[in-house]
Amino acid sequence: MSSPTHFAFIIGEALIDAVTTTDGVTKEHPGGSPANVALTLGRLGRSAHLLTWIGQDERGRTIEQWLQESRVHIEPASAGARATSLAHASLSASGSATYQFDLEWDLPPVQVPAGAVIAHTGSIAAILQPGGAKVRALLEAARDTATITYDPNMRPTLMGSPDEVRPHVETYVGLSDVVKVSDEDLEWLYPGIDPRDVARRWQAGGPALVVVTFGGEGAFAVTSQDELTVAAPPTTVADTVGAGDSFMGALLHGLWEQGLVGSVERQNLHAINSATLETVLLQCTKVAAVTVSRAGANPPWLAELDE
């Protein structure tokens, strides 16, 4: 368990996913990439504080209850939106989804609280304005005390073209100590370029660690010292919702477990050895495998990892 005075400060969207199946039935459930990361950390026994932007409405209360049940602390200033954001997903007969968003992303004027040893963001929150610029300012301020982490988690229907988004993503990468990204996101951002080559270039630009996930094929990591590939454990896939977010949460948990979070550990994080990194990444793949084995963004609790 983490010290009660130290916590991960997660900045980003929490929203309601409304999924309509081919038979016309719509079901709503909470989601949002950064919210899923906070949820994973809470279930793994870490203190996670989420700064988000939800309404004081029924959907907002649903999100609050969902997060609180996994021991996530929601920053009180988060409830300033006119209404809680909604992502509409329509499933085709093949199971693929098309999305429409009814989304507002902003942040109140806040500072990073004392005690944050990790400051994380990603996905919509990092790009969509007016909140995106405020997120970036918070991360810049947090570098003095916290490990900065980022997951681009692209949403092309909201963010624009790769050419429009790429400079913003690269700015966040340059700010970060740890970056986790999927191969699909890199193929969209840098078509025709090997995701591993992008990871190498990103890492050379500042981060201590860049990890690329390849779904069921595992993950690739690059540091200033080494490169490492780990396999994903075999599992039966129910769906892939939240898999990347649970991997990200597990990555933060694992680095925390190794004593490598907080700005005072920045130099040691840069010097992480391959054996330590492999231990962390294998745990990440295990967490993600549990998540994909059950429906929805439902990452494991810490006790489940020992089963």
The 10s digit of each residue's pLDDT in 230-277 is 999 988 887 777 899 999 999 999 999 999 999 999 999 999 999 999
The pLDDT of residue 298 is above 90: no
Kindly state the average pLDDT of the residues 110-129: 96
Mean pLDDT over 7-13 rounds to 98
pLDDT at position 97: 62
Cβ–Cβ < 8 Å for 222, 230: no
Q: pLDDT band for 131, please (50, 70, 90 cuts).
A: very high
- At 38 the pLDDT is 98
Q: How confident is the model at residue 238, as a pLDDT?
A: 75
Asked if pLDDT for residue 116 goes beyond 90, the answer is yes
- At residue 95, the pLDDT reads 52
What is the rounded CA–CA span in Å between residue 237 and residue 29?
19
169, with CB counted inside 10 A (0-12, 13-18, 19+), is buried
Query: 7-306: which CATH topology?
Result: UDP-N-acetylmuramoyl-L-alanine:D-glutamate ligase (3.40.1190)
The secondary structure of residue 215, as a DSSP letter, is G
Give 97's Cβ-side CA count (13 Å radius): 17
Residue 110, pLDDT score:
94
Over residues 31-54, the mean pLDDT reads 97
More confident residue, 236 or 58: 58
Q: Which residue pairs, CB below 8 angstroms and at least 24 apart, start in 93-98?
A: 93/22, 97/19
The 72-74 sheet, strands edge to edge: 72-74, 48-51, 7-11, 116-122, 147-151, 178-182, 209-213, 219-223, 227-230
Residue-level pLDDT at 266: 98
Using an 8 Å Cβ cutoff, are 99 and 105 in contact?
no
Give the rounded distance of the alpha carbon of 101 from its chain centre: 19
Provide the pLDDT for residue 1: 41
Q: What is the pLDDT of residue 2?
A: 46
Task: Read off the pLDDT of residues 151-210 as tens digits, 9 standing for 90 and up.
Answer: 999 988 889 999 999 999 999 999 999 999 999 999 999 999 999 999 999 999 999 999
